[in-house]
Amino acid sequence: MQISLRYKDKGTVIHRLNPFAKLAWVGSVTLLAVIFEHPLFLLLLFLATLPVVILARAWREWVSLIRFVIYMSLVIVIINSLVMYHGTHVLLEFTFEIPTLGNPKITLEAICFGLGMSLRLLAIVSAFTVLNFTVHPDDLMLAMIKLKLPYKSVLAMSMSTRFIPTLAGDLERITDVQRARGLEMDKGRLRQKLKSRGAVLIPLLANSLDRTVQVAEAMESRAFGALKKRTYHREIRLGTYDLVTVCAAISPFFFGLYLRYLGYGGYRYYPSLQKIDPGQTGWLFLAALAVLLLLILPLAWRRRRYILD
């Protein structure tokens, strides 16, 4: 069974960045995408993710994800166009009636709202690409433990990732054994095929449960849970430079909150579209937000120099 994680260690500056910094940056972009409504602000958030994705050399995977987002964007535009008739610029009015919705009326405002929300989705998915493709699952779990999430749950997740290759190996072995006994996996009707799969599934399950006991005994023999204070083989170090990077990664969020407090980042779609130009100060704030969002890039470069030196 060939399975591969989304994460691939490509050794780029983004991969080498502290996981906390990447979590903080992705969190900032996601939260800002949720609190901003202005299309220009949402577009900026989306565009800010692109250099990070390119530097992480994850653009190919990114393109395959974005295809799905484009489909979802179409759904967003269609739903909003069908249900929102408060716009003043009617583009198309149908004569027939849809139960509960009345006469469908497509307005420019509803389409623009749908497009704005699609930008929001694009920004969120694009930001999460960075997390999915550049943070190793082990680092993600260590970060969860450091963030004081319930330990046993994180341990269960950590053990699950460790079981993946074991289970994949078991599955292959059991399939081979059943084939050697004359079981034909892909022959017969659906019922026969399902029966054959069952002949693999049930032994796999029983075997895995026995393994569970072995793992639990191994953990207990190593005094699992005896001490409240735990030690770790691997730790995520959070040095001064990393702390600065985390602060830089989270700064766009606080700046964005401040902008919302000042009244920037909001946008009125109904009854008619508000002027898109945010004004001179608005553009200045947009530029400042762009700088803060991209601050993570020079810091990532410098970190590599710092490690090399």
Partner 1 sequence: MCGNVKETGKRIVRYIYLVIVLCLGIFIISVPFWGKGSFLDPNLGVFNWGLAATVFVSLAVLGFFQEFESAAAGAKEIALVSMLGTISALSRLPFAAMMGFQPCGLFIICAGYVFGPMAGFMVGCLTILISNLFLGHGPWTPYQMFSWGLVGVTAAWLRRCDLLRGKVAVLVVFGFVWGYLYGLIMNIWFWTNFVYPLTLKTYLLTLLNAVVWDGTRALANAFFVGFFGARVIGVLERFKKRFSWNAV
Stretch of residues binding partner 1 (CB under 8 A), selected from 26-34, 51-59, 176-184, 241-249: 26-34
Looking at residues 238 to 277 of the shown chain, list those that interact with partner 1 (rule: CB under 8 A).
266, 269
Q: Considering beta carbons, is residue 3 or 307 the nearer one to partner 1?
A: 3
Looking at residues 52 to 71 of the shown chain, list those that interact with partner 1 (rule: CB under 8 A).
65
Looking at residues 270 to 309 of the shown chain, list those that interact with partner 1 (rule: CB under 8 A).
none
- Gyration radius of the chain's alpha carbons: 26
Q: Select the residue interacting with partner 1 from 43, 145, 157, 295 (CB under 8 A).
A: 157
Buried b / exposed e across 192-230, counting CB within 10 Å, b at 16+?
eeeebeebbeebbeeeeeeeeeeeeeeeeeeeeeeeeee
Q: Does 215 interact with partner 1 (rule: CB under 8 A)?
A: yes
Structure tokens at 249: 């990664």
Q: Cα 205–210–214 angle (5° rounding)? A: 140
Taking the complex as a whole, the smallest distance from the CB of residue 298 to partner 1 amounts, in Å, to 27
CA-to-CA distance for 88 and 108, rounded, in angstroms? 8
Q: Does 209 interact with partner 1 (rule: CB under 8 A)?
A: yes
How many residues form the binding site for partner 1 (CB under 8 A)?
Answer: 71
Length of the chain: 309
Structure tokens at 158: 């950590």
Stretch of residues binding partner 1 (CB under 8 A), selected from 88-96, 151-159, 175-183, 233-241: 151-159
Q: Select the residue interacting with partner 1 from 50, 54, 63, 75 (CB under 8 A).
A: 75
Return the C-alpha torsion angle 182, 188, 194, 195, nearest 10: -40
CA-to-CA distance for 33 and 118, rounded, in angstroms? 11
Q: Select the residue interacting with partner 1 from 201, 243, 262, 288 (CB under 8 A).
A: 201
Taking the complex as a whole, the smallest distance from the CB of residue 275 to partner 1 amounts, in Å, to 18
CA-to-CA distance for 44 and 36, rounded, in angstroms? 11
Stretch of residues binding partner 1 (CB under 8 A), selected from 154-162, 180-188, 230-238, 300-308: 154-162
Q: Select the residue interacting with partner 1 from 66, 145, 185, 204 (CB under 8 A).
A: 204
Structure tokens at 181: 């006994």
How far is residue 72 from each of residues 37, 66, 118, 178, 262, measured CA to CA in Å? 18, 10, 8, 42, 32
Q: Does 80 interact with partner 1 (rule: CB under 8 A)?
A: yes
Q: Considering beta carbons, is residue 208 or 241 the nearer one to partner 1?
A: 208
Residue 191 CB-half CA count within 13 A: 0
Q: Does 224 interact with partner 1 (rule: CB under 8 A)?
A: yes
Phi, psi of 91 (to 5 degrees): -95, -35
Site mask, partner 1, residues 96-125, x = CB under 8 A? ----xx-----------x---xx-xx--xx
State the maximum Cα–Cα separation within the chain, in Å, rounded to a whole number. 77
Looking at residues 163 to 192 of the shown chain, list those that interact with partner 1 (rule: CB under 8 A).
163-164, 167-168, 171
Q: Which residues contact 298 (CB under 8 A, 6 or more apart)?
A: none
Stretch of residues binding partner 1 (CB under 8 A), selected from 33-41, 245-253, 273-281, 298-306: 33-41
Q: Does 43 interact with partner 1 (rule: CB under 8 A)?
A: no
